[in-house]
Structure 1
Amino acid sequence: MDEEDEIRPRFSLPASSMYGSIDGLPASDRPGSSRDHTVSPANPNIAAPMLFSRESFRDASFDGGSLSMQTSRAPSRQGSRGQFSRLRMRKASRDTSAGFAGDYVIHDFINEKTRSHVLEHEQQRMARGPIAEYLYTAKIYFVLVSMGIGAGLVAASLDLSVEWLSDIKFGYCSDGWYLTREMCCRLDEEGQRCGFREWSTALSFLPLIGSATSFLAFLAYALLALAFGVTAAYLVKRFAPHAAGSGVPEIKTVLSGVVIRGYLSSWAFIIKVIGLAFSVASGLNLGKEGPFVHLVSVLANMVATSFDDFRDNFNLMMEFVCVGTAAGVSVAFNAPIGGVLFAFEEAASYFPNRVLWRSFFASALAELTLTLMNPFFNGKAVMFEVNHSLEWFWFEMIPFFFTGALGGILGSIFIHYNVKWSKLRIHDPFLRRSPIIEVAGIVLVTVMLQYPIPFLRLTNTEILATLFSECNESGTLGEGGESLMCDSTRIDKLFFVLFYAVGAKLLLTILTFGARLPAGLFIPSMTIGACAGRIIGTITKMVAAAHPDWAIFSQCRSASVCVRPSIYALVGASSTLAGVTQVSVSLVVIMFELTGGLSHLLPTMFGILAAKMVCTLSGLEGIYDMHINIKRYPFLDSKHHVSHEVPARVIMRPPRVVIPEMGATLGHLQQLLHDYQYYGFPIVRREHDMILTGNIVRKELKAGIEKALRDPRVSYETMVSFKGEFDITDKDYIQRISANNEILLNFAGFRDRYLSQVSPETPLSDVYDCFSALGLRMCFVTRHGELLGLISKKDAIAYCDATGDIPRKFFR
């Protein structure tokens, strides 16, 4: 017996045919005989599906609304790589709700769009009048307004919380324990003193020598950082595992039509807000910007599901989540336009035109709310203000390009080793069972590597603000008086600090991202790149100062300053983030809005282009796509190209259960839902020809049965038809079909309106495009209308995993 026969399901019906035989089958192969029904009239190599007919149902026992129909399945061998891949995908799932057998649920965008339109039409038909239509539109804008205002409030609250928790590691404000360092120092109008007392000063009353006081200050810093990190990890492990990570890979998966149970819950929102404040304040190399995508998407889902009109409208709910993604990026970077472009370029697989306007509206409102809240009390509309008067020269395009290429190299190194570490985290039993201990270890390593360097004790946001600033006439950076970046006599120390910062932060970010606590990587990646860019800028400045007579520097002879290292820091930050995420167009706009540096747009673009070229040559996907694959989400990226041209018949599965257009009863269908947990069921014209005429998903069949049973004329013996073109909202779905007043239920309106059919010889690349570009979840393999098999989205993923057609090295 070959492998295909071993994994083939076999069915036996404990019913004898009232017509004596089934077309094309000998008596020994009739349902109810001693032999299993394993021969298909269409193809002898494919197991025949379960056919539901009047005779089989009438011989089945029915007791109190429950049918009993015997089925038997042959044990399957799991030795093949394709079968093993599917099992691994299901093992990694967390969806254990009834009806889905622990597997992720994938929606069909095309048919869900049709159902959404039907649902909206039905609601408007029930309400009637223009007032109801205006009310429906008002509800949509209420969700958008609530989302925008809520996003701004959450962002402002998190900014203040993170700043206070970060400052408490160094000391406290004597004028009020609840004040941050900046707010505490602003209380003194004359600027003669600052009420913020560091722990070394606060502990000076103890009879200790200076070194002991400094050690106690370090101990307080380390213990508070450890407490913050452990608290974040504990909250995630104990209350909401879905609150871990940045959330961008999961949101991309959700927007492709996959349901991740509990990911958009209110509990995940609460834990992520609290855990994010603690994890960022711990000093770990992570950011709060990526998790805003998850937070605002959850906020959008919570507000939208409070309306009955939206709760069952899958496509509209996905549009709200997409709008939440844009608004989340908007408040994270003060970049409303960049947020909309990010949702379009990176996150959403489905982005209709109306989502563009709604995303822009919500993002602008979120940014307005955050600006009015003014959490940093500086009144600035940008996070890192860059001097617009800083000029650059055309010869610098060469070092700008090399800075971008270096950012791509750093991004590729990060992706490569972070994937390896994430793989070890999954497979190592100790790390898998002890996420809190892992986080505690990472916190301690972070403290030991960063605390000895005063520059690295700053938060990543403060480091970026320093690197993006240019030296003034006094030889310092802005108002803080930091002179290391501008002191030419200490250039060796500057290079040591910057090189050390690149290496230490790259290592720590590799270890941190993917740990089970709320964590983003936007700002850490930018910090690594900004340090590297500042190094190249400083070297270029030194060369220009040492050789002003070189022809390449001829443009500098009329300028007071030839090279501005801060511009290189900006290019390095942009290119490294592009190398890590492999986002391009939206990132240029985000950096422009983030810094306000319109004059530096061209260098930023060239740096990002160079980073993208390097990443393309490395053959690595973006970090978010990598983590989607690591977590085994059923996601297919439309950017991928499948080169292995196997025909569809190689990867298709035989139809195990089908429903005839005529002949099934209501009780028969009820038993079908009870016995089989499939998402949908093909509809065929007759048992003997297997001509495909439609498909009905589980929830629609269940809705039709529930609607029919509310009618007193209907019983479980009532016949059901799937023929015709009946409106789902039509009340006249009951027909009388015989002289003895027998009634017939017409369920045609509950079928899918769109069927994707491919021939057995269709190459896998075309099937892949159907899933990734059209948002399908199932393709039907037919020949002249005859149903031969099915290919689900998960089948395509499992085959690509097994053959390595789309490389997923961490699976092996």
Structure 2
Amino acid sequence: NLAFVLIAALLVVYGEPLAAGSGIPEIKCYLNGVKVRNVTRLRTLFCKAVGVLFSVSGGLLVGKEGPMIHSGGVIGGGVPQFQSLSIKNFKFNIPYFRSDRDKRDFVSAGAAAGVAAAFGAPIGGVLFSLEEGCSFWNQSLTWKTLFCTMTSTFTLNFFLSGTLDHSWGSFSQSGLLTFGVFENCHLWTLVDLIIFILIGVGGGLFGMVFNAINTRLTIFRLKYLAKTHKIARVLEALLIGFLTTVVAFLTPLWIGQCRAILDENSNSSLQRFLCPPGQYNDMATLFYNDQETAIKQLFHHSGMHAWTLGLFFIFFFLLSCLTYGSSVPSGLFVPCILCGAAYGRFVSSFLIFLYFQKIKTHIYLGTFSLIGAAAFLGGVVRMTISLTVILIECTNEISLSLPIMVTLMVAKWIGDIANHGLYDIHIFLKSVPLLEWEVPSIAKSLTAIDIMNTRLKFVYPHTRVRSIVNLLRTTAHNSFPVVTMKLPEIESKSKLASANLRYRLVVSLPQIFYSCFAVVNQEIISYEKFNEDYPRFTDIHEMNFDDLNLNQIMVSGLDVTPYMHPCPYVVHPDSPVPQVFNLFRTMGLRHLPVINSRGEVLGLITRHNLTH
């Protein structure tokens, strides 16, 4: 186990640190409009896909579904570019899909395809991208994403059916995670619905505690482990792997109970451990099987003692909370489903114990296990619509839609009382300027002038190359207002003419350096030339000026008017912050100039101003 965990940790720590965790927070930030470095690189995909294989094989309490979502996003972002930054010579200058908006749409479709492949839920994948990912959506993106998820589900089903059952074309495997056939799952009453609501309350409380503990662990890792030598993070992963192996071995030995095998159909997945022939160890059956098989045991087979279920829930809760956030690729969906299934199964066992004669005849243990899984998963990640559809598509039982919806809503409401979903917590701890659906309550009474940045750097329509080079070298801004020259006797501030992005200025400089054209006969760079190196443009500090005649070049003029945005979005200083927030969120903005009624530039608003 430790050898496999070591490989997974080395791939993350020394290969690509962004491959740690599920990758869903990073994909969510990218689709929100935030530029996350290396999130869609081929190296990240390799470390994530290979690392999660060794994480799962090493016995860590992680899932592979979350990393599949990130992997799908990487594939979606890389395929239409027809190039790789990790493989230097692999590049095709195809002029299509070379903009942030196009790439964002492909990443969104790829992430949805990852959900569809993991759970066999094409519609759930579309709703996942809509609910958790994209902040700007349109009808065209809906059917494109649905086509992508449908293709992903079809492809996986075709190859899984052929390789596992040797029945090519039968489509018997809808996804990597299947919950089996639920028998008599429609037998729930109004009284049961009330119990499901209480299970949702418990799931929200458990999710609240799970997120609070993991927040403390993440703060500790960011404060101490992230600043120490890389080997410390590798040793932490090995320590977690060792602790998980010890618990998985000792709990069946000390706590597990030997029970008679009553169902011959489930004999293959029951673990005998040290029990006599014809019996199995219930705790070993949960720990020694893979997590998908353990979930099916809780959903469909009896024979688990309530004492075993309760202790398994506690140990699995703590170990999975400890594991998520360490330096290994790790998903969260399946561990939460298994932990919640044990919780729901414990509740049903407790009810049978209290009211054996009255309710045993109609209680179906699998229904309570599924509701418990939905409650705990909803309490941790705080998703509602997409998670409901994903669970319904996994179970193939529409009759459970109402209990699942009610449980998820209650779990989310209870959990939101104390903290946010785990993905949002990790985004917040990394100080990523993510724009949520709603404007922060503290900013509702503010206006644009209260949050704007007044320390601006300007660009004039016709300026010296020396000024542009000094500006780019001394600042890290990605957008510069293009202003007209002010008249000292008339105007107090420069008037906004347009806005220009950093990469456009950088790309336009070599044209001046290597041709030394004057401003009157400056050659206009084409749109295809601008986007030729997308998405990694040359940095100003990487340009070599040693062999150039700097005296002649630096005094040359540069006309930026062909490359500037002629009609940027602007706001008045008295505009309310909720209006500014909606502009950023719905239009995918990164910068927003603030001008007065005379067109004079007063400041600039960025995502950082809206989130800090």
Q: TM-score if structure 2 supplies the norm length? A: 0.79
Partner of 2:436: 637
Counterpart contact for 1:665–1:719, Cα < 8 Å: no
Q: Does 1:409 align with 2:205?
A: yes
SS in 1 for 2:437: coil
Partner of 1:444: 242
Counterpart contact for 1:276–1:519, Cα < 8 Å: yes
Between structure 1 and structure 2, the one with the greater Rg is: 1
Distance 1:653 1:640 in 2: 19
Structure 2: gaps (5+ residues)? 83-91, 166-171, 253-283, 530-555
Match for residue 264 of structure 1 among 26, 40, 46: 40
How far the C-alpha of 1:666 sits from its partner, in A, is 5.4
Partner of 1:4: none
Match for residue 755 of structure 1 among 537, 545, 568: 568
Partner of 2:280: none
Counterpart contact for 1:266–1:298, Cα < 8 Å: yes
Partner of 1:329: 115
Distance 2:523 2:557 in 1: 7
Distance 1:422 1:676 in 2: 32
- CA change 1:400–1:717 in 2 (3 A) is closer
1:696-727 alpha-carbon deviations (Å, 9 max, x no partner): 112223444556778x7x724549899xxx99
Count residues with an aligned counterpart.
Answer: 524
Counterpart contact for 2:73–2:109, Cα < 8 Å: yes
Partner of 1:792: 606
Partner of 2:337: 526
How far the C-alpha of 1:747 sits from its partner, in A, is 4.3
- CA change 1:728–1:497 in 2 (3 A) is closer
Partner of 1:54: none
Distance 1:684 1:506 in 2: 58
- CA change 1:360–1:750 in 2 (3 A) is same
Partner of 1:715: 517
Counterpart contact for 1:642–1:765, Cα < 8 Å: no
- CA change 1:729–1:753 in 2 (3 A) is farther
- CA change 1:600–1:646 in 2 (3 A) is closer
Distance 1:232 1:460 in 2: 19
How far the C-alpha of 1:677 sits from its partner, in A, is 4.1
How far the C-alpha of 1:665 sits from its partner, in A, is 4.5
Match for residue 592 of structure 2 among 779, 786, 789: 779
Counterpart mapping for 1:266-305 below 5 A: 266-305=42-81
What code does the residue aligned with 2:73 have? S
Distance 1:421 1:729 in 2: 47
Distance 2:195 2:349 in 1: 11
- CA change 1:640–1:762 in 2 (3 A) is closer
Counterpart mapping for 1:594-633 below 5 A: 594-618=394-418, 620-633=419-432
Structure 1: gaps (5+ residues)? 1-224, 470-476, 478-482, 486-493, 731-742, 799-812
Partner of 1:400: 196
Structure 1 stretch displaced more, 520-529 or 383-392: 383-392
- CA change 1:727–1:302 in 2 (3 A) is closer
SS in 2 for 1:643: helix
- CA change 1:574–1:432 in 2 (3 A) is farther
Counterpart mapping for 1:388-537 below 5 A: 388-390=183-185, 391-429=187-225, 432-433=228-229, 434-451=232-249, 452-453=251-252, 454=284, 455-469=286-300, 477=301, 484-485=303-304, 494-537=305-348
Distance 1:754 1:238 in 2: 45
Partner of 1:354: 140
What code does the residue aligned with 1:467 have? L
Counterpart mapping for 1:227-238 below 5 A: 227-238=3-14
What code does the residue aligned with 1:411 have? G
What code does the residue aligned with 2:574 have? E
Distance 2:226 2:174 in 1: 46
Distance 1:657 1:271 in 2: 40
Counterpart contact for 1:525–1:573, Cα < 8 Å: yes
Counterpart contact for 2:18–2:38, Cα < 8 Å: yes
Distance 1:396 1:573 in 2: 16
What code does the residue aligned with 2:370 have? L
Match for residue 449 of structure 2 among 649, 653, 656: 649
1:300-320 alpha-carbon deviations (Å, 9 max, x no partner): 223222152246322111111
Counterpart contact for 1:407–1:575, Cα < 8 Å: yes
Identity %: 28
1:458-477 alpha-carbon deviations (Å, 9 max, x no partner): 222111111111xxxxxxx3
- CA change 1:466–1:773 in 2 (3 A) is same
Q: Does 1:313 align with 2:99?
A: yes
Distance 2:164 2:389 in 1: 25
Distance 2:294 2:62 in 1: 13
1:159-179 alpha-carbon deviations (Å, 9 max, x no partner): xxxxxxxxxxxxxxxxxxxxx
How far the C-alpha of 1:366 sits from its partner, in A, is 1.2
What code does the residue aligned with 1:791 have? I
How far the C-alpha of 1:330 sits from its partner, in A, is 0.7
How far the C-alpha of 1:744 sits from its partner, in A, is 9.8
How far the C-alpha of 1:396 sits from its partner, in A, is 0.8
Q: Does 1:242 align with 2:55?
A: no
Distance 1:363 1:655 in 2: 46
SS in 2 for 1:635: coil
Partner of 1:161: none
What code does the residue aligned with 2:339 have? I
Counterpart contact for 2:153–2:174, Cα < 8 Å: no
SS in 2 for 1:258: coil
How far the C-alpha of 1:371 sits from its partner, in A, is 1.1
Partner of 2:277: none
What code does the residue aligned with 2:421 have? G
- CA change 1:462–1:651 in 2 (3 A) is same
Counterpart contact for 1:326–1:340, Cα < 8 Å: yes
What code does the residue aligned with 2:148 have? A
- CA change 1:729–1:539 in 2 (3 A) is closer
What code does the residue aligned with 1:695 have? A
Partner of 1:213: none
SS in 2 for 1:658: coil
Counterpart contact for 1:409–1:579, Cα < 8 Å: yes
Distance 1:651 1:366 in 2: 44
Q: Does 1:697 align with 2:501?
A: yes
Partner of 1:384: 179
Distance 2:439 2:601 in 1: 29
Structure 1 stretch displaced more, 685-694 or 671-680: 671-680
1:290-337 alpha-carbon deviations (Å, 9 max, x no partner): 011111111222322215224632211111100101001111111111
- CA change 1:754–1:420 in 2 (3 A) is farther
- CA change 1:387–1:311 in 2 (3 A) is closer
Counterpart contact for 2:498–2:568, Cα < 8 Å: yes
SS in 2 for 1:230: helix
How far the C-alpha of 1:566 sits from its partner, in A, is 1.0
How far the C-alpha of 1:278 sits from its partner, in A, is 0.6
SS in 2 for 1:245: coil
Distance 1:385 1:562 in 2: 20
SS in 1 for 2:362: coil
1:617-639 alpha-carbon deviations (Å, 9 max, x no partner): 23x11111111111222222123
Counterpart contact for 1:697–1:751, Cα < 8 Å: yes
Q: Does 1:687 align with 2:483?
A: no
Q: TM-score if structure 1 supplies the norm length? A: 0.61
Counterpart contact for 1:403–1:533, Cα < 8 Å: yes
Distance 2:207 2:327 in 1: 22
